[in-house]
């Protein structure tokens, strides 16, 4: 991914627009991160008013978006949902047809829906708008509870900060975990919130006693190789299993098992990028037990085998790629369906 087009139209939301600029438009080459050719585009170049009472001057028309590797769609104001510019819809359809990345933030998903590219797919939007999307576009499987959804090379996200989570999710696939973590650190945001996490948690500010879960999650991260159970974790938190599970879900937006599974994948990504350990050892260190189980879970979550991931994002010695290639045929056989 080298080129990024961010589409803005009248009434765009400044924060969500800024998310795309922050994620893809900044020069981070001093931190070893490649730059993207990032351009803001609009159907009619010139002054484009935001919904907050100020305007920006956009110099580029939509022609660049027809060649971009990623097309980002900013939120569409409710009053425009039934009259989205056909030129924007054509850009979205073209991007999907040529297998480019397409990412919408918040109600930008209504632009994708109007273009017809979400029909038969799973998608999300801000939970406030989910009922409207379900009613307007019954062919879309709308999930109102998650931060973002990736279906193929289309990513839809919930409101506001969830758009940043979706951008980091895409960057992780293009740049790898280590570089994306560097970007997140510079943004001063968590490097990873899984797309399946809830759009909102039960308690926006946890009770003081809920802070006792932090030592437990720290211990979980230090002991990923162990077979951790809710009963064991609850005992460390000095809670009953039921209370622990309920409080964990309220504070972290995911079940203990789901949170742990995601952390194991993240740890495996780091080991693949930064070490020359074999897959069996990485599986052990990450808590998957065997290379076969690692491959199955890694491919299901990230859509790529561990071996292919290492070949793409390895940032240590060059001979690691040779080591990874030696395991490729085994990995492929593991992933092939049984006749």
| This prediction's pTM | 0.73
Could you give the 3-state DSSP secondary structure of residue 196? coil
Give the residue from 133, 154, 187 where a domain finishes: 187
What is the spatial distance between Cα 170 and Cα 104, in angstroms, rounded to a whole number?
12
180: which 2 tokens? 């994306």
What is the spatial distance between Cα 55 and Cα 49, in angstroms, rounded to a whole number?
4
| Angle formed at CA 239 by CA 237 and CA 244, multiple of 5 degrees | 85
Could you give the 3-state DSSP secondary structure of residue 339? coil
The pairing of strands 122-123 and 141-142 is parallel
Check which CATH number belongs to the domain holding 39 and give it: 3.40.50.880
Does one domain contain both 232 and 322? no
Confidence (pLDDT) at 206:
43
Report yes or no on 144 lying in a domain. Answer: yes
Report yes or no on 202 lying in a domain. Answer: no
How many other CB atoms are found less than 10 A from the CB of residue 331? 21
DSSP string, 286-298: HT--SHHHHHHHH
Does one domain contain both 32 and 55? yes
Tell me which residue of 213, 209, 201 sits closest to 250, measured CA to CA: 201
Containing structural domain, residue 304: 258-335
Report yes or no on 196 lying in a domain. Answer: no
Report yes or no on 121 lying in a domain. Answer: yes
Check which CATH number belongs to the domain holding 276 and give it: 1.10.10.60
Does one domain contain both 234 and 280? no
Does one domain contain both 268 and 230? no
Report yes or no on 203 lying in a domain. Answer: no
Half-sphere exposure of 175 (CA within 13 A, CB side): 23
Check which CATH number belongs to the domain holding 228 and give it: 1.10.10
What is the spatial distance between Cα 96 and Cα 238, in angstroms, rounded to a whole number?
51
Number of domains in the chain: 3
Does one domain contain both 78 and 117? yes
User: Taking a C-beta distance cutoff of 8 angstroms, is the pair 151, 192 a contact?
Assistant: no
Does one domain contain both 166 and 150? yes
DSSP string, 113-143: HHHTTTTTSEE---TTTHHHHHHH-TTSEE-
Reading the chain (339 residues) residue by residue, the pLDDT tens digits are 999 999 999 999 999 999 999 999 999 999 889 999 999 999 999 999 999 999 999 999 999 999 999 999 999 888 989 999 999 999 999 999 999 999 999 999 999 999 999 999 999 999 999 999 999 999 999 998 888 999 999 999 998 788 998 999 999 889 988 888 888 888 877 656 655 555 554 434 444 444 568 889 999 999 999 999 999 999 999 999 999 999 998 887 788 998 899 899 989 988 998 899 999 999 999 999 999 999 999 988 888 899 988 888 776 544 444 444 444 444 444 445 443
Does one domain contain both 244 and 270? no
User: Taking a C-beta distance cutoff of 8 angstroms, is the pair 60, 45 a contact?
Assistant: yes
**Alpha helices of the chain — where are they, by DSSP H?**
14-24, 86-97, 109-115, 130-136, 161-175, 177-187, 213-222, 230-237, 241-252, 256-274, 279-286, 291-302, 306-313, 319-335
Report yes or no on 192 lying in a domain. Answer: no
Using the 8-state DSSP alphabet, how is residue 199 labeled? S
Half-sphere exposure of 46 (CA within 13 A, CB side): 3
Does one domain contain both 46 and 179? yes
Does one domain contain both 113 and 44? yes
Report yes or no on 198 lying in a domain. Answer: no
Following CA atoms 198, 203, 206, 209 in sequence, which dihedral angle do they give, to the nearest 10 degrees? -110
172: which 2 tokens? 């992780």
What is the spatial distance between Cα 86 and Cα 102, in angstroms, rounded to a whole number?
17
Does one domain contain both 217 and 183? no
Does one domain contain both 168 and 267? no
Does one domain contain both 177 and 66? yes
């Amino acid at each position: 991914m080298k080129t990024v087009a961010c589409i803005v139209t009248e009434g765009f939301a400044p924060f969500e627009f800024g998310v795309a600029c922050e994620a893809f438009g900044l020069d981070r080459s001093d931190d070893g991160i490649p730059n993207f050719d990032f351009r803001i585009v609009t159907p009619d170049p010139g002054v484009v008013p935001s919904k907050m009472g100020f305007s920006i001057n956009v110099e580029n028309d939509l022609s660049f978006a027809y060649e971009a590797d990623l097309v980002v769609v900013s939120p569409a104001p409710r009053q425009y949902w039934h009259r989205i510019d056909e030129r924007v819809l054509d850009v979205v359809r073209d991007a999907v047809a040529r297998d480019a990345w397409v990412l919408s933030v918040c109600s930008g998903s209504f632009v994708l829906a109007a273009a017809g590219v979400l029909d038969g797919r799973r998608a999300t939007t801000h939970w406030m708008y989910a009922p409207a999307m379900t009613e307007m576009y019954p062919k879309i499987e709308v999930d109102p509870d998650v931060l973002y959804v990736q279906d193929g090379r289309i990513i839809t996200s919930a409101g506001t900060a969830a758009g940043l989570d979706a951008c980091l999710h895409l960057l992780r696939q293009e740049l790898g975990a280590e570089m994306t973590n560097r970007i997140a650190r510079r943004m001063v945001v968590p490097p990873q919130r899984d797309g399946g996490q809830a759009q909102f948690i039960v308690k926006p500010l946890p009770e003081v006693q809920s802070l006792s879960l932090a030592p437990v999650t720290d211990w979980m991260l230090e002991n990923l190789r162990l077979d951790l159970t809710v009963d064991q974790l609850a005992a460390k938190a000095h809670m009953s299993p039921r209370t622990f599970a309920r409080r964990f879900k309220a504070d972290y937006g995911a079940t203990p098992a789901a949170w742990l599974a995601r952390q194991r994948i993240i740890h495996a990504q780091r080991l693949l990028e930064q070490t020359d350990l074999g897959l069996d050892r990485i599986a052990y260190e990450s808590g998957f037990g065997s290379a076969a189980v690692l491959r199955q879970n890694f491919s299901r979550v990230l859509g790529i085998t561990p071996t292919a991931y290492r070949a793409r994002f390895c940032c240590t010695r060059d001979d690691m790629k040779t080591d990874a290639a030696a395991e490729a045929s085994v990995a492929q056989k593991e992933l092939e369906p049984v006749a």
